Structure 1
Amino acid sequence: MKKFASLFALVLVLSLVMSACGPTAAPVPTAAPTEAPAAVETVAATEAASDVLTLTLWVYDDTRLATLNQLGEDFMTEYGVALSVEVVDLSEIRNAMSLGATTGEGPDMIIIPHDNLGPMVENASATEIDLGDNADKYLEPAVKAFTYNGKLYGLPLSVENIGFFYNTDLVTEAPMTWTEVAEIGTQLVKDGKAESVIGLPDLGYNIYPLYTAFGGYIFGRDADGNHTPEDIGMNSDGMAAALQWVKDLVDAGVVSPTIDWEAAHVAFETGKTPFISTGPWAITRFKTAGVNYAISAFPAVADGGEAGHPFMGVQGLVINAARPNVALAQTFADFLATEENYQALFEADTRPSAWMSVFEGATDADTAAFNSAGVNADPMPSIPAMGFVWDAWTNAGNLVMTGEKTPAEALQTAVDQVLAGIAE
């Protein structure tokens, strides 16, 4: 039924376009043509091309560009509608969706990380999407990630989360607890086999599994399951305990107080630290460096305790509600929603697929390990208030590492900064 409705909308849109393009009366020449026939053929071809309706899709990286272009050609063959895919900076995509809500300009569709969704829903620039009969074919957390106030505003395409890496030349088995991480790493430093217990790319996103293992969280959820700024957990006991775990290692001289993304990755790939929490983006550089590694799920605080879980990031297709081609864009979303197309997207990018059968069918060892590490991943909050979290969280970590504030004090300052941002 949904397929029929999409086709009906497509036929209606195309019929309106064609009737608008057609002349109201036969042209009457006022003079004999003077141009060569070749020029006449060129003009005719240009006019014919201009009659083809084109959907525009903006993406923020080029990893799937070739595959999306091929899918666009397939869509053109089946529906007679062209697809123009453009790589545009994510900040420009956000700005275009914000301005387009009032001007009607911008792309017909975008592919974004789900945590950019909130402001687009709030300014009515994103339109609701219907998964129809395919609803049960998607990973539930991926669907939840693009669900805002109980409505779905994005077609989930892929998911990603970080994993716990360990150097197999230094550590034979993945540690089960964060206590073991500290003990193993400290011994390696004392033995002169490592310089740091663990590489820390940041004190926020990349060690979120440490916070969650201790019971920390950023935003709670309301009765409907939506993240809510009414429950900010950044100053919870679990968050403070996790930061204290890091500070204890800094005070012991086995972790640097200077937190740096690049330095942490270099330390791991050169064998100077046995552990790092990072994502699929690091695989290529680690393989190029020749470091022997394995990826595991995250440790718990104690034996038998609940393992830490990372944030889940979801990339998805969002339809611009301000553009005139909403029904046609939904038709493209319906066209895209097949196992074959999702398999093609996965092979182009290797980010785990949001399509359940493709996700479960991944045979690559690294992909399978990331999938296991992200089993209980929490979709990153997409509410606008999340935009105030990152700087506040970073500042809190820095205040603790320099000894200016205790974890509890620094995290309370972070909450105050978030609340101030919300109030503006």
Structure 2
Amino acid sequence: MMQFKKRLAILFGIVLMVSLIVACEPDRGEPQVSQDLEEGEMPDKPEQLLVWVHDDEDGDISAEELYADYFGNYTEETGIEVVMEIVPMPDQVQNLALAGPSGDGPDIFFQPQDRLGDVVAQGLATPIVYSNEEINGFSEAAIDAFTYEGEIYGAPVAIETYFAYYNKAIIDEYPATIEEVFDMSLEFTNREKDQYGFLISPEFYYLYSFINSNGGYIFGEQDGVYDVDDIGLDNEGAVAGLEQYMEFINADILPRTLTVDVLDGLFTDGKVGMVISGPWAISNYQRALGDDLGTAPLPEMGGEIAPSFVGVKSWLVSSYSEHPEWAMDLAKFITNDESSQLYHELTNELPPRPAILDAIDDPIYAGHTQQIEYGTPMPNIPEMSAVWAMDDAIQLIINGEDIEEVLSETVQNIKDQIELY
């Protein structure tokens, strides 16, 4: 599961430390892809390729099980052994910056789009060379998510966003607006019995829907270029959005302290009418609720379906790889139509390949596919790392601090951190 999941909050001190380490390293120069080969020609095959994979401990399948067929099929086709090493996704960038120069790093590794800027800034990834036909096999949104300064750095694995799950045994009719959600919560919530009408994790990743639907934003953007000097997380819209969220807290129909694990447990126990989560939860929820499980896009806020963060996960080719052409070949192989179909069947995640998405007719995915149309791409620039300080701001607000003051101070701290990049 990816609670891109969700968002991967990287402590700024670690990011800065790694940046300083990299700054002291010798220049790696241009990507090592050979320019002497004829088009379509490949260099001699290596005996093996090393892959860093992320093993989601909360998932239904281990990394070994998930990737066994992918890598086995590639070995059968090419004769190249694929060696898999489990490295938690949040640690991969830092570890690669340290292990790569000594030759201990992978040929390909796994990251979400919001870390791409850090990866490129540190010189850790090599652009992937695609033909037009190969690019067209992916959705435009997925390619855009891993395009940085005109270069494509990823072989996209999955596209995801969060949406609404609801228990049909509790909710007769899905509440279409946030006002209806509030009224439903007032009617159903019984804190003494751990019963709630609506639950959402108190994290910036999820609460951005409240912020953005009221006019708040992360960075100003024009023609796909972010303006990091223009931060809209303390404007009137951001304040109004969190005021709207706090109405649930102050009415005692949302708990002030809530983890994703508790949210999942209460929902699968049949004690919650509606929760906000992502595709990583489908299997768990289906097992618990069966036919009573429904999905839908987020409720309307301000007259429109609330926006959500849309993220993409991808394989990247290490700039330290001694076999970049074959590393790219492997990354493309495990994200082709056949491998992507298998990935979907094993994980329930949605590969960003139209040929796969168009063939999915299970209604349980309706909420996900509809919500993606209202998604806001998560910025993929290095400065995004500083923005996750909003998680601390939200906790302060939940604990009673003044919304406007907390947001103003937090945005100033974000700006101060960005200036150090």
TM-score by length of 2: 0.81
**Contact between 1:7 and 1:331, CA under 8 Å: does it hold in 2?**
no
Q: Using a 3 Å threshold, how does the CA distance of structure 1 residues 264 and 108 change in structure 2: closer, same or farther?
A: same
What is residue 93 of structure 1 aligned with on the other side? Answer: 92
Distance apart, 1:115 and its partner CA? 1.9
Distance 1:378 1:229 in 2: 17
CA shift, 1:337, in A, is 4.9
Write out per-residue CA displacement over residues 41-88 of structure 1, whole angstroms, 9 at most, x where no aligned residue. Answer: xxxxxxxxxxx6111111112645445333333333333322212222
Structure 2 residue 418 is matched with structure 1 residue 419: no
| From 296, 299, 310, the counterpart of 2:308 | 310
Report the Cα offset of residue 326 of structure 1.
0.9
Distance 1:68 1:179, change over 3 A: same
Structure 1: which 5+ residue stretches go unaligned? 15-51
Q: CA deviation at 1:7?
A: 4.6
Deviations 1:246-284 (A, max 9, x none): 222222232222343333333333344322111123334
Find the structure with the greater CA-based Rg. 1
Q: Specify the alignment match of 2:41 in structure 1.
A: 8
* 2:217 aligned counterpart, secondary structure: coil
Counterpart position of 1:389: 387
**Compared with structure 1, are the counterparts of its residues 217 and 124 closer, same or farther at alpha carbon in structure 2 (3 Å cutoff)?**
same
Structure-2 residue corresponding to 1:183: 183
Q: Give the match for residue 15 of structure 2.
A: none
For 1:364, the equivalent position in structure 2 comes to 362
* 1:80-118 Cα deviation digits (max 9, x unpaired): 322212222224322232225544540000122222222
The letter of the residue matching 1:13 is D
SS at match of 1:111: strand
Equivalent pairs, count: 378
Contact 1:343 1:358 in 2 (8 A): yes
Aligned in 2, Cα 1:296/1:383: closer, same or farther, shift over 3 Å?
same
- Identical amino acids, percent of aligned pairs: 26
Paired with 1:383 and 1:252, the residues of 2 have a C-alpha distance of 38
> Equivalents in 2 of 1:164, 1:121: separation in Å?
34
Unpaired runs of 5+ in structure 2?
A: 1-36
RMSD: 2.7
Q: 2: CA distance between counterparts of 1:209 and 1:149? A: 28
- For residues 348 and 253 of structure 1, do their structure 2 counterparts lie closer, same or farther at Cα, with a shift above 3 Å needed? closer
- Structure with bigger strand share is 2
1:194 touches 1:271 (CA, 8 Å); kept in 2?
A: no
* Contact 2:321-2:327 within 8 A present in 1 as well: no
| Larger helix share, 1 or 2 | 1
Q: CA deviation at 1:318?
A: 0.2
Q: How does 1:1-400 map to 2 (within 5 A)?
A: 7-9=40-42, 12-14=43-45, 53-61=47-55, 63=61, 65-100=64-99, 102-132=101-131, 133-189=133-189, 195-221=195-221, 223-290=222-289, 292-302=292-302, 305-390=303-388, 392-400=389-397
TM-fit CA distance, 1:193:
9.3
Question: Aligned partners of 1:178, 1:125: CA distance in 2, in Å?
Answer: 43
Indicate conservation of the 8 Å contact 2:157/2:335, yes or no.
Answer: no
Per the alignment, in what secondary structure is the counterpart of residue 258 of structure 1?
A: coil
Cα deviation 1:204-225 (Å, max 9, x = unaligned):
112332323223222232x440
CA contact (8 A) 1:117 1:382 kept: yes
- Measured at CA, do residues 266 and 92 of structure 1 come closer, stay the same or move farther in structure 2, by a change above 3 Å? closer
Cα distance between partner residues in 1 of 2:298 and 2:106: 39
User: C-alpha distance in 1, partners of 2:273/2:356?
Assistant: 32
**Structure 2 contact 280–348 (Cα < 8 Å) conserved:** no
